[in-house]
């Protein structure tokens, strides 16, 4: 139970510290963390019958994936700078 409380406090502290746009010293940027939990775009039924709707949805999925990948790469490099042994994309 004590360990669970410690972890909960650490998570709460980390979330509170990420409130700054670029993150305080020693913390990743808030935008990168938010990008990792951005909801995947949801398709509407019109993508089955409207080519333009399908193209817009595909574009939204591509953009979402690109943002997620870019944020993941920046966070990976952040943690490498902190001493993590990771192989990060450029």
pLDDT greater than 90 at residue 8: no
| Domain-located, residue 35 | yes
CA angle 57, 40, 56 (to 5 degrees): 10
| Domain-located, residue 86 | no
Q: Which domain holds residue 60?
A: 2-81
pLDDT greater than 90 at residue 9: no
Q: What is the pLDDT of residue 26?
A: 77
| Domain-located, residue 90 | no
Residues present in the chain in total: 90
3-state DSSP call for residue 29? coil
Q: What is the pLDDT of residue 24?
A: 62
| pTM: predicted TM-score of the whole model, two decimal places | 0.66
**Per-residue model confidence as pLDDT tens digits over 11-47:** 444 444 444 444 566 789 999 999 999 999 999 999 9
- Provide the domain count of the chain: 1
């Amino acid at each position: 139970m004590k360990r669970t409380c410690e972890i909960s406090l650490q998570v709460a502290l980390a979330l509170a510290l990420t409130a700054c746009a670029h993150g305080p010293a020693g913390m990743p940027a808030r935008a990168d963390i938010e990008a990792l939990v951005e909801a995947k775009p949801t398709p509407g039924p019109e993508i089955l019958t409207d080519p333009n709707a399908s193209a817009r949805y595909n574009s939204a999925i591509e953009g979402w994936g690109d943002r997620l990948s870019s944020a993941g790469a920046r966070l990976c490099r952040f943690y490498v700078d902190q001493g993590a042994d990771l192989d990060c994309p450029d």
